[in-house]
A = this chain, B = another copy of it.
Amino acid sequence: MSLLVVGSLALDIIETPFATIEQALGGSATFISLAASYFSPDKLGVVGVVGDDFPERAWDIFRTRSIDTSGIEVVKGGKTFSWHGKYHYDMNNRDTIATNLNVFADFKPRIPEHFRSPDFLVLGNIQPDLQREVIEQLTRRPRLVLLDTMNFWITGARESLERTLKLSNALVVNDSEARLLVDSPSLIVCGRKLQEMLASEKPRIVVIKKGEHGSLLFYNEHIFSAPAYPLEEIFDPTGAGDTFMGGFIGYMARRGEINYDIVKRAMIYGTVLASFCCGKFSTEGIEDLTMQRIYDRFLAIHVLSSFDLEESELTDE
Contact = CB atoms under 8 A, between A and B. Distances in A.
Interface of A: 39-40, 89-92, 185-189, 192, 210, 212-214, 216, 223-228, 230-234, 254, 261, 264-265, 267-268, 290-292, 294-295, 299, 302, 304-310, 312, 314-317
A86 to B, nearest CB: 15
B291 A40 contact: no
Nearest to A304: B225
B307 A265 contact: yes
A231 B186 CA distance: 8
A314 B291 contact: yes
A299 B312 CA distance: 11
Given A186-B232, A230-B225, A307-B265, A314 B302 contact: no
Candidate in A292, A302, A314 with the most chain B CB atoms within 10 angstroms: A314
Contacts of A261: 307-308
Contacts of A214: 213-214, 225, 227
B230 A223 contact: yes
A264 B308 CA distance: 9
**Copies of the protein in its oligomer:** 2
Contact of A89 (B185, B216, B224, B227): B185
Nearest to A17: B185
Nearest to A224: B304
B307 A302 contact: yes
A188 B232 contact: yes
Contacts of A264: 307-308
A305 B308 CA distance: 12
A209 to B, nearest CB: 12
B309 A302 contact: yes
Contacts of A188: 230-232
**7 residue pairs, one from A and one from B, having the closest CB atoms:** A225-B227, A90-B185, A213-B213, A264-B307, A188-B230, A291-B316, A188-B232
Nearest to A317: B40
Contacts of A91: 185
Nearest to A93: B185
A189 B232 contact: yes
A224 B295 CA distance: 19
